[in-house]
Amino acid sequence: MSKLSIAIDGPSGVGKGITTKLVAEKLNFKPLDSGAIYRAIAYYMLINNIKIEKFDKSILKNINIDFTKHNYVLLNNEPIEEKIRNDEIGKLASDFGKLKSVRTFSTQIQKRLVLEGGYVVDGRATAFEIPQIPIKIFLDADLKERAHRRYLEYKKEDPTIKENEIFENLKLRDEQDKTRTEHPLHKHPDAILINNNNLTIEQQVQLIIDIFNEFTQNTQ
């Protein structure tokens, strides 16, 4: 296995999760959803009724986050994957993700894993947080397109969900991520931009595989 890792950053709803998973499968790498770390932290705060105004970095000492062999997130050895994939936790993760101590904590977990190589990391600012990752990708798409994709995904579970609600939630999330003090959401200067408004998942996965192959050939 190559000792390289790949960072795939970008805003919510751009398809980072499925792209990361498929790229990892094709390269026989491990996928890492960095957002799951923030969601796990947010879930801990929620179940312990810790409001952001009352947050103290010492609380992080009570949190242990790891991943199973199938890359499902564990919080203090408890599997919580199905409990953190909703908009409430996503919003809370964005709120706590603004805090420097939380971002430092998350980055330490990610570094422990990805600097060994062989990971594809799904994140928002991974390229800034772990600049040692040699291959950096930034996926992007119009807000309207991202909202529509997420609507099609969510309505399978909740037929009552409204597309305009998802649009407004993504718009708010974008604003939070772009204006936070620590590593705001934007493309790293060394990252390759892929706008996937008109790309299928298969096409953008192949683009990233091609970028990886070219990079490895040029560094041999």
Q: Please say if the pLDDT value at position 8 is more than 90.
A: yes
Q: Please say if the pLDDT value at position 22 is more than 80.
A: yes
Q: Is 43 exposed, middle or buried (0-12, 13-18, 19+ CB in 10 A)?
A: buried
Q: What per-residue confidence (pLDDT) applies to 87?
A: 83
Question: What are the sequence ranges of the domains in the chain?
Answer: 6-210
Q: What is the mean pLDDT of residues 9-24?
A: 93
Q: What per-residue confidence (pLDDT) applies to 3?
A: 67
Provide the 10 A C-beta neighbour count for residue 77. 7
Q: What is the mean pLDDT of residues 20-32?
A: 92
Q: 131-157, pLDDT tens digit by residue?
A: 999 999 999 999 999 999 999 988 988
Q: What is the mean pLDDT of residues 34-63?
A: 95
CA-CA distance, 118 to 13, in Å (whole number)? 25
- CATH topology for 6-210 is Rossmann fold (3.40.50)
Q: Please say if the pLDDT value at position 10 is more than 70.
A: yes
Q: Please say if the pLDDT value at position 209 is more than 70.
A: yes
Q: What per-residue confidence (pLDDT) applies to 1?
A: 39
Mean pLDDT of the chain: 91
> What are the distances in angstroms from CA 144 to CA 25, 86, 116, 172?
29, 20, 37, 13
Q: Please say if the pLDDT value at position 34 is more than 90.
A: no
Q: What per-residue confidence (pLDDT) applies to 67?
A: 86
Q: What per-residue confidence (pLDDT) applies to 117?
A: 85
Q: 110-134, pLDDT tens digit by residue?
A: 888 888 888 999 888 889 989 999 9
Per the listing, tokens 């330490």 go with 108
Q: What per-residue confidence (pLDDT) applies to 218?
A: 85
Q: 156-174, pLDDT tens digit by residue?
A: 888 999 999 999 999 998 9
Q: 190-202, pLDDT tens digit by residue?
A: 999 999 999 999 9
